[in-house]
Amino acid sequence: MAKTLTTQSLDLSAFSSKLAEQYTVEHIISTQSSELVLQIRSKSDAEDYVLQIYSFSYPLLRQAKKMQSNHPDMLLLHENGLLILLSPSFIELLPKEQPKRNAFLHSKYLPYVAFLFCSCLFLYSIHDALRKKNANTAIAKHSIISAFSGSQNKKKTATGSALSNQTNVFLASSPSSIIVSPPDNSPAAGFPATVPGNFLDLQKQGLTNVSLKRKLKQNQDITILAASYNQITSCKEIAPLSNVKELYLNTNKITSIQSLSACQNLSILVLSDNKLQDIGALQALSDLTILDLSDNPKITKIHCLSSLTKLQFLLLQNTGCSRKEISYLQKKLPLCTIFY
């Protein structure tokens, strides 16, 4: 607001020299931050008029011109950066206060915020779908091992073996970890413990290839070996176990399985969570029905498994196998269920 729009000066010459010659100020009607309203009197006819003085702006000037067309007796002046209206009565010319807009809804950043929100929602939906898929896979693996183990136990019971009543085979919390728990009547410590059914539990004993060889030296006739969670790097010491049918070697450091080709009676082989890359030796194990190679990211070639016609379940989660490789193998083994 111009400094002349104050209540301290009642001299019209401060606003307009033309008005100062014809009118005198009677008193101030109102003052606002952008408006000064005065009552003035004509020197010629002693009639009272209302003088409205505004700080000049083009929107206000356009509005005043529209009002002048409706009030022919209104005088409109534009002097000294001021907009001056003279009329017999007060005329409201100030623009009506516009409703306040929501700053956020009219922000230029709103589209970006909306895009970011939608992207996060989309990524979360993908994450949730993958989580559910992994959970379903774990459940499926548990069902597979449990069902197969149950059928094996029934066979052993029919032949007089007590293994079905004394040994439990189940899936641990990790989808690729299979744990064989020792029977109830085995010693609490001091493994290995040979039990009815020719089952040997060597899990979580920190075994290396050398110590494994000593453990197996007096147990050459076992049919089930659980040696998970150790430090084994190869299967050379297992090769002499010609009668072994179930072999659980998950969570070791195995890099070579060439010697396993000698274990022709293997039906269940668990090699998850190792350091395997070349699995060519497995093509000689024609009796395999369950094969777990999950959590071996260096495995990329699985063509050699196409000769395993008895294979029912193959686990390939977290390996380097491409979809093309898996599709090829699925065509070769149509009766095999592949998890990846």
With cut-offs at 50, 70 and 90, classify the pLDDT of residue 141. Answer: low
Question: What is the 3-class SS of 123-189, one letter each residue?
Answer: HHHHHHHHHHHHHHHHHHHHHHHHHHHHHHHHHHHHCCCCHHHHCEEEECCCCCCEEEECCCCCCCC
With cut-offs at 50, 70 and 90, classify the pLDDT of residue 142. Answer: low
Q: Domain spans of the chain?
A: 12-87, 139-339
Q: What angle do CA 284, 285, 290 make, to 5 degrees?
A: 145
**In terms of pLDDT, which residue wins out, 3 or 328?**
328
Among 215, 224, 236, CA closest to 196: 224
Listed in sequence order, the residues at least 6 apart from 76 whose beta carbon sits closer than 8 Å to its beta carbon are 64, 65, 68, 83, 84, 85
- In the predicted structure, residue 174 carries a pLDDT above the cut 50: no
The tokens of 124 are what? 């979360």
What's the mean pLDDT in 105-133?
83
**In terms of pLDDT, which residue wins out, 97 or 160?**
97
What DSSP assignment string belongs to 20-52?
Answer: HHHEEEEEEEEE-SSEEEEEEEETTT--EEEEE
- Type and span of the H or E element at 63: helix 58-70
With cut-offs at 50, 70 and 90, classify the pLDDT of residue 78. Answer: confident
Least confident of 38-47, 211-220, 320-329: 38-47
Q: Which CATH number fits domain 12-87: 3.20.20.140, 3.90.1150.10, 3.40.50.720, 3.30.200.20?
A: 3.30.200.20
Report whether the peptide linkage leading into residue 88 is cis, meaning its omega lies within 30 degrees of zero. no
What DSSP assignment string belongs to 192-245?
Answer: ---BTTTEEE-TTS---HHHHHHHHTT-TT-SEEE--SS---BSGGGTT-TT--
**In terms of pLDDT, which residue wins out, 89 or 170?**
89
Least confident of 49-63, 92-106, 151-165: 151-165
Least confident of 34-38, 215-219, 249-253: 34-38
- In the predicted structure, residue 285 carries a pLDDT above the cut 50: yes
- In the predicted structure, residue 80 carries a pLDDT above the cut 80: no
**In terms of pLDDT, which residue wins out, 222 or 6?**
222
What's the mean pLDDT in 201-218?
89
Least confident of 115-124, 157-166, 307-316: 157-166
The phi and psi torsions of 291 (rounded to 5 degrees) equal -135, 125
3-state secondary structure of 336: coil
Residues 228-283: tens digit of each pLDDT: 999 999 999 898 888 899 999 999 999 999 989 889 999 999 999 999 999 999 99
The tokens of 330 are what? 């699925």
Q: Among residues of the chain, what percentage have pLDDT more than 70? A: 72
The tokens of 332 are what? 């070769």
Residue 132 pLDDT: 77
3-state secondary structure of 59: helix
What's the CATH code, domain 139-339?
3.80.10.10
What DSSP assignment string belongs to 280-309?
Answer: GGGGG-TT-SEEE--S-TT----GGGGG-T
With cut-offs at 50, 70 and 90, classify the pLDDT of residue 65. Answer: confident
Cα 211–chain centre separation: 44
Residue 104 pLDDT: 60
- In the predicted structure, residue 153 carries a pLDDT above the cut 70: no
Average pLDDT, the chain: 75
Residues 183-205: tens digit of each pLDDT: 443 333 333 333 445 888 999 99
